[in-house]
Amino acid sequence: MTANFPSINQSDRNVPINLRQSGPTPVEMLIDTRVRKSPYWHLSMEAGCWRASIYNRMYHPRGYVRPEDGGMMVEYDALVNHVTLWNVAVERQIQVKGPEAEAFVNFVITRDATKIPVMRARYVILCNERGGILNDPVLLRVAEDEFWFSISDSDLELWLQGVNVGGRFDVEIQEIDVSPVQIQGPKSVDLMVDLFGDQVAELPPYGLMASDVSGHDVIISQTGFSGEKGYEIYLYDASQHAEVLWNAVLEAGEKHQLSVVAPAHHRRIAAGILSWGQDMDQEVLPFQVNLSYQVPREKQADYIGKSALESARAQLEIGRYPFTHQLVGLIMGGSPIDDYAPDFWLISTTSDSEPAGYVTSPWYSPEIGQNIAMAYVPVEQSALGTELWVHLPEQYADVPGSPVAAQVVEMPFRESVNPNQREILRGKGMDAAI
């Protein structure tokens, strides 16, 4: 099936999602100088990386265990039961530094930057003037006058420099030679203590700590993209010292059954962690993707997108939707989905109706024993318990050519070891929906 599906209502978008069902269409990746190799790229190759994608205009490892040896589900087992090392240098570090760094950051993020203490991090979003999400980085405050945006897959450096054309704020904005790796899994704290001492075990979620590896400076954060216990190690002058950090982690990890794996999208889906460019983009409002808590009512200072976001929230409060589709969680039938989806698979409201929505991030959950997914569905079909039908490829469908049954459920599918703010608010009985 190769037809496109422009009939799905995307009237609230200027550039609709490409819903052409082309399948995997395998092709060899060309390695050339147009795309950057990270400081850890050759080390990932030595660790067995056999495939990659492009993220932030950098080559990004996306698989170490080959399908015939169990593939991504073997990597998943290593993450949830032991400890794993990820090459995530694609999280480029954009530094904002200067006397007005706090004021500038407060102007470009929706959350209140003045409430972020030094040596703490926060998950934040940046929006355009229409309220669309431009990036959802982890923001590190490493000094009173210095912030790092550890960015997702969009070019935030150019945006930030554009915002400050003419020097409206007294800051310098630039990418710096700092590259992170992630240490994720239940044994991550034991590995990190072996590397950095007992104090790392006291690091709170989103806490930061300065340390070194063989005399080379690092910043450590208790953060990650997995929902498991985990850390990120940000190496200064990474282009010069990548081998020192990488090999130190491998050595410390031997007794903890460390595995080098790709970023675990199967686990982040279960944790309800969004992936920019896949689950959201610059035409998506925070209210569509369970990020309402990122738009605080009490922030008095102006910021980019504030007017549009407050207007959208006001419409939602009187039952009017400024968008056609809502991101929801789904459980669905079919054979276990054990790899990345090459298409945005289509969703119908009945087994024989035209498609009305699409899946963004699917995978099989061993804990739940079913396929799970994030998906955009018409707002009228977004309530918990709504029954839908998903058109899976033949290798996953129960009956080839027929959709599988699905149901809208609450996200996250599994509790996170380090809960995000949305989970914390829900635990306190607070409404974070609008």
Contact 337/409 with Cβ under 8 angstroms?
Answer: no
Strand arrangement of the beta sheet that strand 83-87 belongs to: 208-213, 216-221, 230-236, 178-184, 83-87, 258-260
Residue type, 69: D
With H, G, I as helix, E, B as strand and everything else as coil, classify residue 78.
helix
Q: Is 232 annotated as contributing to ligand binding? A: yes
- A 10 A CB-CB count for 179 gives 26
* Range 154-160 contact pairs with CB under 8 angstroms and sequence separation of 24 or more: 154/56, 154/276, 154/277, 154/282, 155/56, 155/57, 156/92, 156/94, 156/126, 157/92, 157/94, 159/126, 159/134, 159/135, 160/94, 160/96, 160/108
Cα distance between residue 347 and residue 382, in whole Å: 12
- Cis peptide preceding 412, ω within 30 of 0: yes
With H, G, I as helix, E, B as strand and everything else as coil, classify residue 256.
helix
Cα distance between residue 61 and residue 248, in whole Å: 20
Closest by CA position to 71, among listed 265, 329, 271: 265
Record the tokens describing residue 368, joined without a space: 């739940």
Binding-site residue positions for substrate:
232
Binding-site residue positions:
232
